[in-house]
């Protein structure tokens, strides 16, 4: 069974974890109001709706990340690769006023996403059970990755701010094939390479701040594992926190992040209130970006590094996390 449209005939959402896929995010049908309860126009609904997609892949000694963002007033895209052996961070980021060249279709299961600017082309294309990621850019950059076996994502819709909402579809621990070519160097996926996909949209709080943690890897016993934790967003009585083990999604409790924001490179301690996650993260590199354009602002720090600690599955079995590479993020956004 598929939920044909997220917004019902009365212009409302039904908050909670969704057990079925959503065919269309029909956001223009939402009964968006001002804080004084005045209905917003169709034009206002169109311009207040934000979308973004983020894909990460953890390969043998490297981590790749790519984002496509449509904020209507601004479109942006970035991609990076961090090589643990050399300690090098390769990255590119691009912005486009009025989101020219940016397209994210409002179909979580089958919609495509792209960002084009000059000679740069970035795409995320869905297929049954996965996504393909491709990048073409000057400097000999050619990236083609296929994320597979995306069979049990977490789908969540929840209120945001006074009258908005956020929908997210997340999955982690996915099998990946492909390679990354960057200036005559090649990084290839192997059988242990794993990826994660974040598809999010909504009428978000005007000012939003969050912390986030992600793991997509393979345990020492060969089982794929994925983890998504967040604090500060999607927390109106529910969370987007989940563990994927052998491709199956397990919900987790509220997350806590302890770190020193103003001490670059400091360790992070990431836990959940249900006691099932107790992880320490050591950063190796960061992708940072600051934008203050008045109406829009972003203070973004995403760290690549290594996790150690324990995660407990829903049966009570404790899983040792030893040297798994992953990501954490500290982000303020005004949009």
Output the pTM of the full model.
0.96
Instruction: Kindly give the confidence (pLDDT) of every residue in the chain, 335 residues in length, as a single tens digit, with 9 standing for 90 and above.
Output: 899 999 999 999 999 999 999 999 999 999 999 999 999 999 999 999 999 999 999 999 999 999 999 999 999 999 999 999 999 999 999 999 999 999 999 999 999 999 999 999 999 999 999 999 999 999 999 999 999 999 999 999 999 999 999 999 999 999 999 999 999 999 999 999 999 999 999 999 999 999 999 999 999 999 999 999 999 987 777 899 999 999 999 999 999 999 999 998 899 999 999 999 999 999 999 999 998 988 899 999 999 999 999 999 999 999 999 999 999 999 999 98
pLDDT (0 to 100) of residue 293: 83
Task: For residue 238, give both structure tokens.
Answer: 């529910």
- 79 neighbors 91 (Cβ within 8 angstroms): yes
pLDDT (0 to 100) of residue 158: 95
Q: How far apart are CA 158 and CA 65, in angstroms?
A: 26
- Which residue, among 235, 230, 278, has the nearest Cα to 255 in the 3D structure? 230
Give the SS3 label for residue 125.
strand
pLDDT (0 to 100) of residue 235: 73
Q: How far apart are CA 131 and CA 63, in angstroms?
A: 17
pLDDT (0 to 100) of residue 177: 98
Give the SS3 label for residue 188.
strand
Q: What DSSP line would sit under 283-325, residue for residue?
A: EEEEEEEEEE-SSSEEEEEEEEEEEEEEEE-TTS-EEEEEEEE
- Which residue, among 144, 225, 154, has the nearest Cα to 189 in the 3D structure? 144
Domains, in order of start, for the chain = 3-334 (2.40.370.10)
pLDDT (0 to 100) of residue 128: 95
- Which residue, among 289, 292, 250, 294, has the nearest Cα to 272 in the 3D structure? 250
Where in 194-276 does DSSP place strands (E)? 194-203, 207-218, 224-231, 242-245, 248-251, 255-258, 268-272
| Residues with Cβ within 8 Å of residue 43, at least 6 apart in sequence | none
pLDDT (0 to 100) of residue 5: 98
| Residues with Cβ within 8 Å of residue 232, at least 6 apart in sequence | 208, 209, 210, 211
pLDDT (0 to 100) of residue 147: 98
Task: For residue 268, give both structure tokens.
Answer: 């992070």
- 59 neighbors 143 (Cβ within 8 angstroms): no
């Amino acid at each position: 069974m598929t939920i044909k449209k997220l917004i019902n005939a009365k212009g409302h959402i039904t908050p909670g974890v969704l057990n079925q896929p959503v065919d269309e995010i029909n956001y223009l049908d939402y009964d968006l109001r001002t804080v004084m309860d005045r209905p917003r126009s169709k034009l206002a609904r169109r311009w207040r709706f934000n979308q973004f997609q983020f894909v990460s892949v953890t390969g043998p000694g490297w981590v790749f990340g790519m984002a496509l963002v449509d904020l209507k007033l601004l479109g942006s895209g970035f991609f990076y690769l961090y090589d643990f052996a050399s300690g090098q961070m390769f990255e590119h980021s691009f912005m486009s006023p009025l989101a020219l060249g940016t397209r994210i279709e409002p179909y979580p299961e089958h919609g495509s996403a792209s960002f084009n600017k000059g000679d740069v082309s970035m795409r995320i294309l869905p297929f049954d059970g996965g996504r393909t990621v491709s990048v073409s850019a000057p400097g000999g950059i050619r990236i083609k990755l296929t994320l597979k076996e995306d069979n049990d994502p977490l789908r969540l819709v929840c209120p945001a701010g006074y009258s908005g909402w956020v929908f997210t579809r997340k999955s982690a621990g996915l099998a990946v094939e492909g390679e990354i070519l960057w200036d005559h160097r090649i990084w290839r996926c192997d059988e242990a390479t794993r990826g994660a996909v974040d598809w999010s949209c909504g009428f978000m709080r005007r000012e939003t701040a969050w912390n986030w943690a992600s793991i997509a890897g393979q345990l020492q016993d060969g089982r794929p594992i994925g983890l998504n934790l967040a604090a500060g967003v999607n927390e109106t009585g529910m969370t987007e926190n989940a563990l994927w083990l052998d491709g199956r999604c397990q919900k987790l409790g509220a997350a806590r992040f302890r770190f020193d924001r103003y001490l670059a490179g400091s360790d992070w301690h990431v836990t959940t209130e249900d006691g099932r996650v107790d992880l320490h993260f050591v950063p190796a590199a960061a992708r940072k970006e600051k934008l203050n354009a008045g109406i829009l602002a972003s203070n973004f720090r995403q760290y690549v590094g290594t996790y150690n600690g324990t995660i407990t599955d829903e049966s009570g079995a404790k899983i040792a996390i030893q040297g798994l590479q992953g990501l954490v993020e500290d982000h303020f956004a005004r949009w």
